[in-house]
Amino acid sequence: MIPARYAATRFPAKLMQPLGEKTVIRHTYDNTKATGLFDEVMVVTDSEIIFEEITRHGGKARMSIRSHESGSDRIAEAVADMDVDVVVNVQGDEPFVRREPLEKLLEVFRGEAGRSVQVGSLVQVLKEQRFIDDPNYVKVALDKNNNALFFSRSVIPYPRDPAAAPVYYEHIGVYAFRTAALLQFTAWPVSPLEAVEKIECLRYLENGIPMRMVITNYMGVEIDTPEDLERAAKLL
């Protein structure tokens, strides 16, 4: 599922911006489908413009019935009546989706060890200080089992002792959920830390649900600002 909101706060209409020969949202949809990992790929949107953009190029899209605060809420509405075990949320502003990171993410749900995993997501190492300092890049601290300890737009961990050589992980906006965990998420109110940081996955942590993070060398560009779009065009 690809949640796609037209009126993004920081960069309105960003999903309909041209990136090469396609819009951002079409890159995301086409690249997700091209991984071959999923039984179905669908855009879930509140926008007739985005709905038309996907369907007129042969893709699948579904209109949200209600307004939603987060992409997870939008997806939960769409899957509530579907018979599906694991749902993957690829944010609409992730045009450089590749098979390998998504395959690694799905792997943590498999086998005996995967039975206990309810929610998973992706991280990559941040090395440039300007990105580490940028609040548009969500940082995450991990425990020794790669479960998330905390997400923040601030610098975490804080380098009180730079000689300790901290590793900074950026949270990539790709999630995988057991359907039951996702539906439970939407039944909870917005949590205090989530409200402060504007990071929806903090709602899981505040309600005691672990998030298993998968480290990848994704190195794509998430389109949050016009500057990101310029970087994406160069990368393309």
Backbone φ and ψ of 105, nearest 5°:
-65, -45
Alpha-carbon torsion, ordered 56, 57, 61, 63, to 10 deg: -30
Given a cut of 80, whether residue 210 has pLDDT beyond it is: yes
Domain 108-175+189-217 top-level CATH class: alpha beta
- Which pLDDT value is given to residue 69? 67
**What are the extents of the domains in the chain?**
1-98, 108-175+189-217
Supply φ then ψ for residue 163, to 5 degrees: -65, -20
Rounded CA-CA distance 49/106 in Å is: 31
DSSP of 37-95: --S---EEES-HHHHHHHHTTT--EEE-SS--SSHHHHHHHHHTTS--SEEEEE-TT-T
Residue 44 CA to residue 28 CA, distance in Å, equals 13
CA-wise closest residue to 1 among 66, 47, 55, 62: 62
pTM for this entry: 0.86
Q: Which fold has domain 1-98?
A: Spore Coat Polysaccharide Biosynthesis Protein SpsA; Chain A (3.90.550)
Given this chain, do its domains 1-98 and 108-175+189-217 carry the same CATH topology?
Answer: yes
Average pLDDT over residues 196-215: 95
Q: pLDDT (tens digit, 9 = 90+) per residue, 54-113?
A: 999 999 999 988 676 677 888 988 898 899 999 999 999 999 999 999 999 999 999 988
Q: Report in angstroms the alpha-carbon separations of 178 from 40, 80, 111, 182, 205.
A: 16, 12, 14, 6, 16
Six token digits for residue 147: 């479960």
- Condensed to tens digits (0 to 9), the pLDDT of residues 111-150 reads 988 899 999 999 999 999 999 999 989 999 999 999 999 9
Q: What is the pLDDT of residue 173?
A: 80
Helix (H) or strand (E) holding 157, with range, is none
Rounded to whole angstroms, the Cα distance separating 221 from 202 reads 22
Report helix, strand or coil for 148.
Answer: strand
pLDDT (0 to 100) of residue 198: 92
